[in-house]
Structure 1
Amino acid sequence: MKRLGVLGWPVAHSRSPRMHNAALAELGLKDWHYQRLPAPPEVFEETVRALPASGFVGANVTIPHKEAALALADESTAAARAIGAANTLTFSHDGAIHAANTDAPGFVAALAGVDVDPAGRTALVLGAGGSARGIVYALREAGAARVSVWNRTPERAAALAADLGVEAAHRPAAADLLVNCTSVGLADGEFKELPLDADALGTYATVADLVYRDGGTGLIAQARRRGCTVVDGLEVLVRQGALSFEAWTGLPAPVDAMRDAARGANPDAHDPGTSDPSDRRTADARRPGR
């Protein structure tokens, strides 16, 4: 059995097992299995290093481990090093750990799916964690005219901006594209903790929310009501997941099957992943999950 999984804390909400197991079934890979891997920060490195000996080929990484995943890797892509975070780990036969970041190209693919090209556009990114680093890098590399970063801790926004050569915003600024890379909305769907109100959303042509939850997030619902083009967290999940899947299996990802599973079509068919009941707390890191 070849094993895959998603490492996070919390990770009980993740739809990655449903999505990836649907893809494995679609391609007839019956000897592969994808599962949740709840890992508190204090045991993250120990957990990762034990995976290859347990039959794991690779793993996705979500809150709050993306920067730690890059730090422990034996090898990493140039993009992951530039971003400073990794969301995809691949294990070699000798146990070596390779780190990559599919958040960045996955996000650009999700934008392309709604005919949005970041080139020449302005963007405001909310958050300064591992996911935000990937999105900022993606927008910069795609040719965005200006990228601004806001975080409730200004020092974190300033550090990310300095690392990636973009601007730190002390307050929300007008932009063509708004991207929520915090975990606000994960627990209750509301976005009142973000530094903007519903009426302000209409000033952004496109709104993307990396958070996903049953019933959708309030941010995406309000953006739709105001006529914005929207990209929700499930589409970003699918696009980055497809790239991870291809890296592990060497096969083209069945994106439509992954999307159907992630969005809940026949939700019980491919979701055998389980997690520890203790892994049901609200994220404190204010970053989105997988």
Structure 2
Amino acid sequence: MPRLGVLGWPVAHSRSPAMHGAAIAALGLEGWTYQRLPVPPELFDETVRALPGAGFAGANVTIPHKEAALALADDATDAAREIGAANTLSFRSGGTIHADNTDAPGLVASLPFPPAGRTALVLGAGGSARAVVWALREAGAADVAVWNRSPGRAERLAAELGVRAVAAAHPADILVNCTSVGLTDVSTTFKELPLDADATGAYACLVDLVYRDGDTALISAARDRGVAVVDGLEFLVQQGALSFEAWTGVQAPVNAMRNGARGTPPR
């Protein structure tokens, strides 16, 4: 009975169990299960190392564990190492831990147009932001800028990944919010980020990795101004499909996963 899960702190809000559960059901994978694994940072290494012995085949990793996930892995993909963070762990024979990052290809797959030759502004400097910056750079974006509330973190990320750190938001083709702003209190979104609602109209596409019931304030503002949007659930589906395929060895039922993540009954 292979087990799967999502490691995070907090993780109660995660739609991954519904999404992966829908995929398991759609494919009839008998005995497979997927669950939330709430783990505080101080217990992360100990918990992860115990998962293979508890029957786990793999686990997704979310805030704040993505960099720690890479650090404890026995081996990792080149992409995960270059990004410096992992969101997918696979447990192999003998208990070894393999790390990958599906956030990067998941971001590119979720965009309404190829990033090659485009400009981008990324908000945040954590594990997800690292994957997004790396993905945009590797996909041929003409310019990638990073903003963070702590300028030093943006500067370090920019130096490590060969992009620019900026002190303020500016117009670009693509805006990606990789911060957790808007997860719990949408009313503070534009107080904590370096732009207001009207400024969302300066982008051709806005991606918000945050998801919640209903649109985030960023997504809502962008929709009102006719901007193409990618919400956090679509990003979740695209990166999750790649994780699912790595664990099961079968093609992910993307539509079933999308319906599961969004709470849409299967047809």
Q: TM-score, normalised by structure 1?
A: 0.90
Deviation of 1:266 after TM superposition, in Å, equals: 3.4
Q: Does 1:43 align with 2:43?
A: yes
Distance in 2 between residues matched to 1:154 and 1:196, nearest whole Å: 16
Contact map agreement 1:19 1:258 (CA 8 A) in 2: yes
Q: What's 1:143 paired with?
A: 140
What residue identity is the alignment partner of 1:133?
R
What residue identity is the alignment partner of 1:100?
D
Distance in 2 between residues matched to 1:265 and 1:143, nearest whole Å: 35
1:57-113 deviation digits (Å, cap 9, x = unpaired): 0000000000000000000000000000000000012100000000000010001xx
What residue identity is the alignment partner of 2:31?
D
Distance in 2 between residues matched to 1:237 and 1:50, nearest whole Å: 26
Deviation of 1:124 after TM superposition, in Å, equals: 0.2
Q: What's 1:217 paired with?
A: 216
Q: What's 1:99 paired with?
A: 99
Q: What's 1:230 paired with?
A: 229
Among 159, 165, 168, the alignment partner of 2:165 is 168
Structure 1 vs Structure 2 CA RMSD: 0.9
Larger RCO, structure (CA 8 Å, separation 6 or more): 1
Distance in 1 between residues matched to 2:176 and 2:95, nearest whole Å: 36
Deviation of 1:265 after TM superposition, in Å, equals: 1.0
Matched position secondary structure for 1:94: helix
Aligned length: 264
Q: What's 1:65 paired with?
A: 65
Give 4+ residue runs of structure 1 displaced > 3 Å after superposition.
Answer: none
Query: Which runs of 5 or more structure 2 residues have no equivalent in the other structure?
Result: none
Contact map agreement 1:121 1:145 (CA 8 A) in 2: yes
Q: What's 2:9 paired with?
A: 9
Distance in 2 between residues matched to 1:263 and 1:216, nearest whole Å: 12
Q: TM-score, normalised by structure 2?
A: 0.98
Contact map agreement 1:107 1:135 (CA 8 A) in 2: yes
Contact map agreement 1:189 1:213 (CA 8 A) in 2: no
Query: Which runs of 5 or more structure 1 residues have no equivalent in the other structure?
Result: 268-290
Matched position secondary structure for 1:118: coil
Distance in 1 between residues matched to 2:94 and 2:32, nearest whole Å: 20
